[in-house]
Structures are given as C-alpha cells and as structure tokens.
Amino acid sequence: MSSRLEITELERPALETALAKRGQPKFRAQQIVAWIYQRGITDFAAMSDLPHDLRQQLGAEFSVTTPSIASRHISEDGTQKFLLRLTDGAQIESVFIPDTPAMTFCISTQVGCAMACAFCLTGKMGLTRNLTAGEIAGQVRVLADALDMRDRAFNVVLMGMGEPLHNYDETMKALRILGDEKGLALPARRVTLSTVGLLPALEKLGREPYMPNLAISLHAPTDAQRGELVPINKKWGVEEIIAACRQFPVRKRSRITFEYVLLAGVNDSPEDARRLAKLMAGMKSKVNIIPLNAAAGIPFERPSEERIDEFARILSERGVLVSVRKSRGRDIRAACGQLIVEGQRPSPAQRLATIAFS
C-alpha cells in the first residue's frame, strides 16, 4: 500500500499546501497542474520545467493515477464507448458523442447507481461505490488524450453511470478541478449535470460558485406516474422539484433542461403532454424528449414516431421549447440508460443498503 499523495485527488490550493510543506513556492503547483491537465503528462520525470531534485521528490512522495482503458467501441455514428478500469478493478463507462453539434464527453459519477429507475440498465446494477473526484475528472483526461482533443473545446455531461447529486462532494470537487484555470480550464457553461432531483442537494447546487447547467430527469408530470418510474420520487415529488427549479439561479441565456424518457402507453399521452406543459409554464426551461432505448430486461416499449411527434407538437404549441434526443451509439450500447458493466452486480443485501441512503 503506497502512502503517496494522489495529486489527481487534490484541488490546486491543497497541492500548493502540500508543496509548501516541502519548501516549494505556489507556482510549482501551477506547473504540475498544467503538465497533467493541459499536456497529459503524468510522469514527474518528464516535467522538464521543474528542478531535477523536485522531480525525484515528487516521484517518491506523490502519485498521479489515471483510469485505464479496458475496451473501446466505436459506433457507426461516430459515438465511442470507453470501458475504464479503476485502481480497485471497478469498471465504469464514459462516452464520446461527436458533433451534437459540439463535441461531448458523457462521464460517470458512480460505479452503478442506487436510483433504480425502472427503465434504466445502470439502475439494474445497484450502487457499488462512489467515484472519487480524481476518478470523475480522470475520465475527461482519458478521453481528451485518447481522442487527441486536448486543444479542442468540448462539453462535459454528467449523464453516464450514477446519480451525481448522490455523490455530491466528489462531483463538485471534480468540477472545480476540471474548471481550474491553470489546468483544463473547463468553463462551467460547458458542463451539464443531470439529476433525478435529490432536493437538498439540488438546493445546495444552486449556491455553488462553479455552477454547471442543470438537467432534471423528470419523465412524468404526476407523482403517481413518476413514483413508478423513479423510486426516489416518493421522497421528493414533482411539485417540490419544479418549485426548486423555479428558484434555481439559471445563467443568462440559459435554461433548465427537463429530460423525459418517452415510454409507450406509460407517459406518452396527449394529457401527459398538456400536464407537462403546465409544469413548464413561465419557467426558463426546455424539454428534451428521449424516446426509450429499449433493452432486454427493460419492461417498456418505445412509442411510435407519430406518438413521439404528437407529444412534442403539443408541448411546442403551448410555448414549450422542445427537442427530441436522437439516440447515439445504440449499436454499441452506449446510448442513454444503456451503460452497464456486466459481472459487477452487487449482492441484494449490498443493493438494499445503498438504496436506503439519507
């Protein structure tokens, strides 16, 4: 077991403190962060603007860990799914979605997920563990390197495996690390956090200095329907979430996205669309309809194209901004709700323990 300090788990002020204890000035932390996040260099010996002695000391007392690529699949549409292996052997998935029109990295915040949404494959895994901030931010480093995109602009969506607000502290720390102006300098407006709406955490998010765009996985306009699809709705219901969203400090020219997985005969009626439009009234919002990505073991069906169009039309006639998400990477199981790592299902007891959080 190494007792070395893992740099990817440190925000720059903490790295500065660790270096100050070793008699090093602050700018050394900036240099190290630039090597790791701007140039993708994680070997201290190669950090050529650091004094030779310091490089040796860093090698002895610090480490820089990066998730390794266990496999990589490329879809017909250019989407790429990365299966990443972490130091303890746990595996997660990260997805690269090109030209939407921006380049987008979809990253995970947990190994598995405790939310158990009825239509989501990741939900079937249960939660194995939270990711650390370094593991969350590390996915962005891995993808940027593998895709040779270090010098290009990209968006990051926290829409992979896991519920980001159920791993609040590490997720926010990861975003601050990614946002560090001396490192990747990822602007908050390029980040979208998607959540089922854990209310206390959602309210806390509204007070963060580094404020990502917000997407809410709503999926139904009434508690009766949503409770069947998103179990945590029994704790924090539709009205409460909508009220919190109305209070949420939305950036200028920005909107809250409401994701709505359309399920045939469950939440896709004209009445559902009208109810949804009412919830959206007067809010800086947009609705992103996600026609179900069907999978074995998911007891729902995707509605017909006519049904999808009608649902979207009803919203749009009522002044709601609406888009229908084109499914990407379905052939490699990289699409929404299709991320699952086989052989990683926790025991039923473990699963129950993780669902009974706070």
345 CB-side CA count, 13 A: 9
- Cβ neighbours for 345, distance < 8 A, ≥ 6 positions apart: 124, 125, 126
Q: Whole-number minimum distance, CB 316 to ligand SAH, in Å?
A: 20
Radius of gyration of the chain (CA): 21
CA distance 53 to 92: 37
Do residues 50 and 19 make contact, with C-beta atoms less than 8 angstroms apart? no
Contact set with ligand SAH (CB under 6 A): 115, 117, 119-120, 159, 163, 194-196, 217, 259, 261, 290, 292-293, 298, 336-337
Q: Mutual orientation of helices 305-317 and 270-280 as an angle, nearest 10°? A: 30
Q: Let me know: does 287 contact 275? Beta carbons within 8 Å.
A: no
Select 33 or 230, whichever has its Cβ closest to ligand SAH. Answer: 230
Amino acid at 179: G
93 is catalytic: yes
Of all residues in this chain, which one has the CB nearest to ligand SAH in the complex?
337
Residue 35 or 236 with smaller CB distance to ligand SAH: 236
CB of 254 to ligand SAH, least distance (A): 18
Residue among 213 and 293 whose Cβ is closer to ligand SAH: 293
Residue 244 is encoded by which pair of tokens? 């919190």
Burial class (CB in 10 A: 0-12, 13-18, 19+), 326: exposed
111 close to 162: Cβ distance less than 8 angstroms: yes
In terms of residues, how long is the chain?
358
Exactly one of 93, 135, 163, 259 is catalytic; which is it?
93
- From start to end of the chain, where are the E strands? 5-6, 62-63, 68-74, 80-85, 91-97, 104-106, 110-112, 127-130, 155-158, 191-195, 213-217, 256-262, 285-291, 322-324
For ligand SAH, which is the closer residue by CB, 135 or 259? 259
Closer of 143 and 336 to ligand SAH (Cβ): 336
- Closer CB to ligand SAH, 37 or 300, in the complex: 300
Catalytic positions, written as ranges: 93, 336
